[in-house]
Structure 1
């Protein structure tokens, strides 16, 4: 990146880091944009330049998620299906504990902040719709799906169901080690089912 791009990325990260710290300490709905701006040593206008919505300060990996989905599909090896590429990406993220798909004890606090905020839960539902739209486009471009929109909807549902089920177990007190193998099995079972349903 150029120097200007690096500085912009650093500013964005600083706003997100300070905002997230405040959200963890006091809860999402109890923190204002003014307080985040002051903590990050920027103006309110600057905060909104990087994050048009307060929810996106906490859910700051949305652009990364879209980029990863797109590159996973468009850069997949020859002969690999879109479903195969998505399965591989999710399992890789589970294995490495990536925040976008990993299931780790350390994410408990993040999940609780989201669950405690109606605004964040609503934004998460919107993100699912945005991901579904991106996947619809990718399936359409691949030519692999008879009904790209339906395929995309099923992929989103499969991910959401397996992820939320395992996260609920961790929130209930189980450890990553205790749920990891079950989660991997659930992801594989979900994609096996999709591949049978959409050969």
Structure 2
């Protein structure tokens, strides 16, 4: 039974990846707003219903790594070492993703096509804002859980807001530099150093409460 479930899960992940890859190729080629979900389904060889089973919203076909991001931060905070703060665990995670070149780090000239597709689509930009808010909510819940804080406690929400603001500011700064033509390796090195300092500052700020 365990092997059957494992195989089923692998097939589901393969199907999800196939649909997302096909969709991304079409969006990059023709623009997000010029491609329908039905066209994605046809190109992927699945039904439209199947597409929506994996991706409830069209925008999530392109912004498909959000669940992975949630999984990674949840695992980092809940599985942190004894004595390590949730913020220190996140800092270690974020810097590790950058150093290994993980797509969720996303600081490289090769992501310029991805950024351009997002910038060209009001729907995608709006969904990015929603996902940022959702991510902030996930962080706040994890911080509250780690601290044993109640839902009315402001500190976890403040910590989450500061983390998101710091990450976003550093990320947008680096994206702007790459789009302006700065060498990718230089930007990445500066990005890692700046993010490290920014998250360290957030840790100090949160510790003051």
How far apart in 1 are the matches of 2:148 and 2:91? 15
Normalising by structure 2, what TM-score? 0.91
Aligned: 1:187 with 2:191: no
Superposed structure 1 runs of 4+ greater than 4 Å apart: none
- Of 153, 159, 173, 1:165 maps to 173
Aligned twin of 1:116: 120
TM-superposed deviation, 1:144: 8.2
**Mean CA deviation greater in 124-133 or 142-151:** 142-151
How far apart in 2 are the matches of 1:182 and 1:13? 32
Aligned: 1:61 with 2:65: yes
Normalising by structure 1, what TM-score? 0.96
| SS of match in other structure, 1:198 | helix
TM-align CA RMSD: 1.4
| SS of match in other structure, 2:56 | coil
**Mean CA deviation greater in 82-91 or 145-154:** 145-154
1:36-73 Cα distance to aligned partner (Å, 9 max, x none): 00100011111111111000000111110110010010
Aligned twin of 2:160: 152
TM-superposed deviation, 1:164: 1.1
| Number of aligned positions between the proteins | 199
1:101-157 Cα distance to aligned partner (Å, 9 max, x none): 241111111111111111111111111111111111111111188611011011011
How far apart in 1 are the matches of 2:14 and 2:204? 45
Aligned: 1:25 with 2:29: yes
**Mean CA deviation greater in 143-152 or 58-67:** 143-152
**Structure 1 segments unaligned to the other structure (5+ residues):** none
Aligned: 1:86 with 2:94: no
- Paired residues for 1:99-138 under 5 Å: 99-138=103-142
TM-superposed deviation, 1:166: 0.2
Give yes or no for contact 1:73–1:85 (8 Å, CA) kept in 2: yes
Give yes or no for contact 1:55–1:123 (8 Å, CA) kept in 2: yes
**Mean CA deviation greater in 93-102 or 125-134:** 93-102
Aligned: 1:178 with 2:167: no
**Structure 2 segments unaligned to the other structure (5+ residues):** none
